[in-house]
Amino acid sequence: MIVPPEARRAQGDAAEERACRHLEGAGFTIAGKNYRTRGGEIDIVARKGELLVFVEVRSRGDADFGTPEETVTHSKRRRIIAAARRYLATVSPSSWREARFDVIAIEGVGNAAVLRHYPAAFDAKGKIL
């Protein structure tokens, strides 16, 4: 089934909002959303104390063609890492001590959608942990 771009964007926005609520419930503060650079984008930048977390949010209505987390490819991870480096250049080095890359996968629709959070899903070289 072909989904129109505006419906796909709305689904992505809803998934990011749900991910933000999940992170806030886990004690994080949302420092930014949809940080875009020339080479990539970070869906959510969250903070807990001196920890900065760059979060990639992926969603799928069903797993007929794989799970949402499987779509975070090596090239996608490299683009996220490049955007994170640019983001870090804009904040004071004294405002954070540690940074990590998380993935939040949302599968399903509506109230039946399942959220899976993978803290430290990959490292700064793009290697899956």
Per the listing, tokens 């999940």 go with 22
Q: Please give the Cα distance from 37 to 84 (Å, whole number).
A: 9
pLDDT for residue 2: 62
Give me 23's structure tokens: 């992170």
From 56, 46, 53, 52, select the one nearest 21 (Cα to Cα): 46
* Sequence ranges of the domains in the chain: 6-63+74-122
Q: Please give the Cα distance from 38 to 53 (Å, whole number).
A: 20
Q: How would you label 99-120 residue by residue, b for 16+ Cβ within 10 Å and e otherwise?
A: bbbbbbbbbeeeeeeebeebee
* Cβ 48 vs Cβ 27: under 8 Å: yes
pLDDT for residue 15: 92
Give one word for 63, left, alpha or beta, with left for phi > 0 and alpha for psi -120 to 50. alpha
pLDDT for residue 7: 66
The per-residue pLDDT string of the chain (129 residues; one tens digit each, 9 = 90 and over) reads 566 666 677 778 889 999 999 999 999 999 999 999 998 999 999 999 999 999 999 998 876 778 899 999 999 999 999 999 999 999 999 999 999 999 999 998 877 889 999 999 999 887 887
pTM for this predicted structure: 0.90
Looking only at the bridges linking them, the beta strands covering 51-60 and 114-122 are unpaired
pLDDT for residue 11: 79
Mention the CATH class of domain 6-63+74-122: alpha beta
Q: Please give the Cα distance from 98 to 53 (Å, whole number).
A: 9
pLDDT for residue 9: 78
